[in-house]
Structure 1
């Protein structure tokens, strides 16, 4: 049974409060929030509330916001959810300020990393069956926080430097010191017009063209590609790899999207935003 407007308004308000705290770097208890919410929504079980939080994560991504860590976006949500979210984000200057500060904050590469714990599985490309929503709604309230983070040069450079070290470690771990010594941060040594950032190698010596996309947010956060990167993923699909670094400030993790990006992501034909559902 679909949630009522009163129920949706209550859970969205609670979600936005938690998101604001998280973006501001303040601690909070998801359990406490969930228990308090369950008292207001007595007809909804705790698992149902948790699932709805994940739906809200997907709605927030559609509105251009990051989502709460741990609430994996589930995109097949009722239309009322994004309508209420759009209503409630209007005029929330504290949330806007926290989001803007989070995406513009400078970054540095972590000094100590256990690379054995860095690799992650990539999200699966999903079919969306969300109820239709008036596109003018998105236009009226949509923010560009995820795009602004993608333009954060400090974060992008720190992510590339991290992957250079990761590739060096990966090749040495395979007994390929000679190849490890040839890993090249080409976006710095040769410029950023090649369609990739790092030149690395497979164990057999075949070149690996690595494009690095870095976010401080969760694994399912969309990213943006250029026409050149997309073309290279098609033209050099045996060598192209997109490395997606996520949760970079907390504990960096990375997954690999090899070959044609269309196989892994849903690509917006106008903005070239790549998402997984």
Structure 2
């Protein structure tokens, strides 16, 4: 019976294959029972416990995010994965054409505007990610053919972005109406639509005392810890107007929209990684 972290390649391949199948089912809207799947998978492993399999799934989530893919709901990423796991995930992703099609459809699909049923149902606390551990030197940089820009594609889905902003407009109207501030609620403005998207925020709302609340909306159909993209302009605005600025992160938007707020400077809440550069010819 195997112990500790000495997972064989066969075991790792079995775990990755099961995880990717769950992800495909999830993206296609098909139900599955996680516990039953794990119990069936354990019969093919070398005496692994349910907890150890779940831990491995969380490691796979970390690899998936590193490669720009969505993850299976409920398996929060754990960063301390082994090189073997990264290699197996990369290999299976490259040949899994049904999963590639499912992800592409998910990130490009138009979104239907949703309305919050109540403030209590929509708002959640800021999620607590697991501690990010630095990868060993051999992990970075890694030029992988399995790397995709799926999360960036979703961020460019204008239909999803607009639906998220409209959701926040209704959410803010509910909040102010509930506080008896109808006049302020009537002054809420969808500034990214009325004035353009260069202001560094999307929605102008108000505190109950009349002070402005500048809201940047980031929407995903995936889980609460899915990375998101911010512009240099948004970062600068959040720093200059930190007392008024809030980033609203909407997640699980197509299923059960929920939201948490990151008030103040974005850099105070997030680890920021440069992923692209604007290049000009040097004279």
RMSD: 1.6
SS of match in other structure, 1:245: strand
Report the Cα offset of residue 136 of structure 1: 5.4
Match of 1:147 in 2: 152
SS at structure 1 position matched to 2:204: strand
Equivalent residue, structure 2, for 1:45: 49
Which residue among 80, 85, 88 is the counterpart of 1:81?
85
1:74-109 C-alpha deviation (Å, 9 max, x unpaired): 222223222210111012111110000000000011
Deviations 1:44-96 (A, max 9, x none): 11011112111111110111100011112222222322221011101211111
2:250 corresponds in structure 1 to 245
Distance, in Å, in 2 between the alignment partners of 1:114 and 1:239 is 24
Residues 78 and 50 of structure 1: CA distance in aligned 2, closer, same or farther (over 3 Å): same
SS in 2 for 1:75: coil
| Residue 237 of structure 2 is aligned to residue 232 of structure 1 | yes
Q: Match of 1:35?
A: 39
Hey, what's the Cα distance between the residues in 1 that align with 2:44 and 2:169?
Answer: 50
| C-alpha spacing 1:112/1:230, structure 2 compared with 1 (3 Å) | closer
Consecutive unaligned residues of structure 1, counting only runs of 5 or more, are 273-277
* TM-score for both structures, normalised by structure 2: 0.91
1:57 is matched with which residue?
61
Residues 112/229 of structure 1: CA separation in 2 closer, same or farther (3 Å cut): closer
The correspondence of residues 209-220 of structure 1 with structure 2, limited to 5 A, is 209-220=214-225
Give the aligned length: 272
Deviation at 1:111, TM superposition (A): 4.5
Q: CA deviation at 1:205?
A: 1.2
Which residue is equivalent to 1:16? 20
Structure having the higher Rg: 2
In the alignment, structure 2 segments of 5+ residues that lack a partner are 278-283
Corresponding residue for residue 275 of structure 1: none
Of residues 132, 153, 164, the one that matches 1:159 is 164
